[in-house]
């Protein structure tokens, strides 16, 4: 197998900067942005390998990968660490779920600075009260529109390149018109785009698109309030972006559950090898040979033929 020893790894490249401008360019050219949800570097590399040009780091997926519920238990340092590792691995524009900003105005300003320094291209901020909940669940509580607008204004003051996507969860608790009114206030405060959460049908999506003069983001999460909708359908309804935030985690978790059950039952992984990524494919994905080539004291790896076979 021919190994790519020229693959540029992050240790040999300058730090990622100013990817927020990429989002602005796509919006200006009306190019739809489909973002795969990722929760760690290897999921991000696989999404990049599939052809995605931008990624989304979901707070719900990240907390679940840490064995925690999405109720505000994640802290800022944990989020920044994982965001940095994903940007470092892929160098792709990353939209990060910043929840409620991890506090009030000053905390939100620090979040923007920390994520910008990590190379993040855009941050999503939401108008829930802590402890927050998944946007597709009941019992959400919201801050006032004025409080959220002040937080967005603080975020806008702190950023230099990072784009701000303001999420409103008001449709479920206050109604569609109130949510649209909130969105307009958030744009006036400095948000670059709007994320209306937990819309339940095409009529609501279209109403937002007709009322809001800013790029809109649609959330295609499974097992929630929004019916299955394709990227093309979202684009046709006037949306600039869509995310599939937890899909990859759900796929991976089910695959691992099936594997562990089979291993426990049979005592062997033999019948499961056909479902595994090969060692050769893994090494290509993580640019193993590119890292190895940086240090000539490491003997060049030669994989056995079996490393690429299933």
- Total number of domains constituting the chain: 2
Residue 3 lies in a domain: no
Domain of residue 159, CATH code:
3.20.20.60
Which residue segment(s) compose the domain that 29 sits in? 10-245
Peptide bond into 131 cis (omega under 30): yes
Same domain, 80 and 143: yes
| Chain segment 26-49, per-residue pLDDT in tens | 999 999 999 999 999 999 999 999
Domain co-membership, 21 together with 41: yes
224 lies in the same domain as 301: no
pLDDT score for 160: 96
∠ CA(92), CA(98), CA(104), 5° rounding? 145
Boundary (domain end) residue, out of 194, 224, 245: 245
Distance in angstroms (rounded) separating the CA atoms of residues 253 and 27: 34
The answer to whether residue 1 sits within a structural domain is no
**pLDDT, mean of residues 267-288:** 95
pLDDT in tens, 100-143: 999 999 999 999 999 999 999 999 999 998 777 666 667 678 99
Which helix (H) or strand (E) covers residue 188, if one does? helix 176-189
Identify whether residues 71 and 131 lie together within a single domain: yes
Do 184 and 153 share a domain, yes or no?
Answer: yes
In this structure, the answer to whether residues 84 and 199 fall within a common structural domain is yes
Same domain, 63 and 93: yes
241 and 267 fall within a common domain: no
Instruction: Measure the CA–CA gap between 49 and 71, rounded to whole angstroms.
Output: 32
* Domain end among 214, 245, 276: 245
Domain annotation covers residue 58:
yes
What DSSP string describes 194-256?
A: EEE-S--SHHHHHHHHHH--S-BEEE--TTSSSPP--HHHHHHTT-SEEEE-SHHHHHHHHHH
Q: Which of 149, 151, 163 is nearest to 102 (CA)?
A: 151
The Cα-based distances of 186 to 152, 195, 233, 291 in angstroms read 7, 11, 26, 44
Question: Are residues 240 and 103 located together in one domain of the fold?
Answer: yes
Residue 211 pLDDT > 90, yes or no? yes
> Which of the listed residues 245, 268, 294 is the one where a domain comes to its end?
245
In terms of domains, do 304 and 189 share one? no
Same domain, 80 and 220: yes
Q: pTM value?
A: 0.94
Residue 2 maps to a domain:
no
236 and 265 belong to one structural domain:
no
């Amino acid at each position: 197998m021919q190994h790519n020893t020229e693959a540029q790894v992050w240790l040999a490249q300058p730090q990622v900067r100013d990817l927020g401008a990429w989002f602005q360019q796509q919006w200006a050219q009306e190019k739809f942005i489909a973002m795969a949800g990722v929760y760690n570097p290897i999921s991000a590399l696989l999404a990049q390998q599939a052809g995605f040009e931008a990624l989304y780091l979901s707070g719900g997926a990240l907390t679940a990968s840490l064995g925690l519920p999405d109720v505000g238990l994640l802290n800022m340092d944990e989020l920044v660490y994982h965001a940095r590792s994903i940007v470092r691995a892929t160098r792709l524009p990353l939209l990060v779920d910043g929840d409620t900003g991890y506090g009030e105005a000053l905390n939100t300003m620090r979040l923007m600075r920390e994520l910008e320094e990590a190379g993040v291209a855009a941050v999503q901020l939401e108008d829930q009260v802590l402890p927050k909940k998944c946007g597709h669940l009941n019992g959400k509580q919201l801050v006032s529109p004025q409080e959220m607008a002040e937080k967005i204004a603080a975020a806008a003051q702190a950023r230099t390149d990072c784009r701000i996507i303001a999420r409103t969860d008001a449709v479920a608790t206050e109604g569609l018109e109130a949510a649209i009114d909130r969105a307009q206030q958030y744009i006036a405060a400095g948000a670059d785009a709007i994320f209306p959460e937990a819309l339940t049908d095409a009529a609501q999506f279209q109403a937002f698109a007709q009322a809001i003069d800013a790029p809109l983001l649609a959330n295609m999460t499974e097992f929630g309030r929004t019916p299955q909708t394709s990227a093309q359908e979202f684009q046709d309804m006037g949306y600039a972006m869509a995310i599939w935030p937890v899909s990859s985690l759900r796929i991976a978790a089910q695959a691992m559950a099936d594997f562990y059950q089979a291993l426990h039952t049979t005592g062997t992984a033999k019948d499961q090898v056909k479902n595994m990524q090969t060692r050769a494919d893994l090494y290509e994905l993580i640019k193993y040979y590119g890292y190895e080539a940086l240090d000539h004291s490491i003997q060049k790896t030669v994989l056995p033929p079996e490393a690429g076979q299933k």
